[in-house]
Amino acid sequence: MTPRLYLRQWLSGRDFALGDPVAVAMRNFAYALGDRETGEAVLVDPAYAPRELVGLAAAESMTVVGAVATHAHPDHVGGRLLGEHVVAGVAELVAATGVAVHAQTVEVEALLERTGVDPARVVGHDDRDHLVLGELDVTLVRTPGHTPGSQCLWVDDALLSGDTLFVEGCGRTDLPGGSSDEIYASIHERLAVVPDETTLYPGHFYADDPHAPLGRVRASNTVFLVRSLAQWRASFG
């Protein structure tokens, strides 16, 4: 990894949003990604306590200049979760800091609807768009399946995978907009270009390890035991 890469993984309910029982139960990871030299960072999936995340980055001399949504579920970007419970997220972050929120274009409508974020501060992206932070070049890889506009962030030796791929298992596809066939293609085809040496940083802490080399995930995660779409449909469809 380049020494300029600033990457932090924070677990909800443990590293931030302490005392929030929903944050504890959901085991979400929020991330900060940036260039240490320029001091610019983006928050990835800043739910539950976005201003606290800004503070965590600031404590390490990093200024939050934007946010990236891996997808528009409330435990990642804020909104109504578990009935009436409202999770804070990108709307609060934008109101407090004025930064822009980056998402895949096909996910923008859901993001606006669920979070109430200021539409003027939302930037839609296509597959393989780049987000440049100082000298860092982040590739936004669209990986539909968990949601239509799910995306992974690929930078240097790191892949932030949201709910597309976990260290063990993958995101569910039975929620509105989900597609089992699409997540198969995302995991097995769209992400196939990412080398084994890359470290996978998932959207939830659902395994023993908070992150793992992608090569190890490919060897041990049950979603990689399947070798064809037909097998996938039989096993996971």
Q: Name which of 91 and 183 has its Cβ closer to Fe ion.
A: 183
Q: Among the candidate windows 10-18, 73-81, 217-225, 228-236, which touches Fe ion by CB under 5 A?
A: 73-81
Least spacing, CB of residue 88 vs Fe ion, in Å: 17
Binder of Fe ion out of 8, 36, 73, 102 (CB under 5 A): 73
Strands 63-68, 40-44: pairing is parallel
Least spacing, CB of residue 162 vs Fe ion, in Å: 7
* 114 binds Fe ion, rule: CB under 5 A: no
Q: Name which of 73 and 190 has its Cβ closer to Fe ion.
A: 73
Binder of Fe ion out of 35, 45, 107, 163 (CB under 5 A): 163
Tell me the residue type at 180: S
Q: Name which of 163 and 182 has its Cβ closer to Fe ion.
A: 163
Do the beta carbons of residue 159 and residue 138 sit within 8 Å?
Answer: no
Handedness of CA 200, 18, 112, 137 (dihedral sign): negative
Q: Name which of 47 and 62 has its Cβ closer to Fe ion.
A: 47
- Residue 76 sits at φ, ψ, to 5 deg, of -115, -35
Do the beta carbons of residue 40 and residue 130 sit within 8 Å?
Answer: no
Strand-by-strand arrangement of the 136-142 sheet: 129-133, 136-142, 151-155, 158-162, 199-202, 212-213
Residues of the shown chain interacting with Fe ion in the complex, contacts defined by CB under 5 A? 73, 163
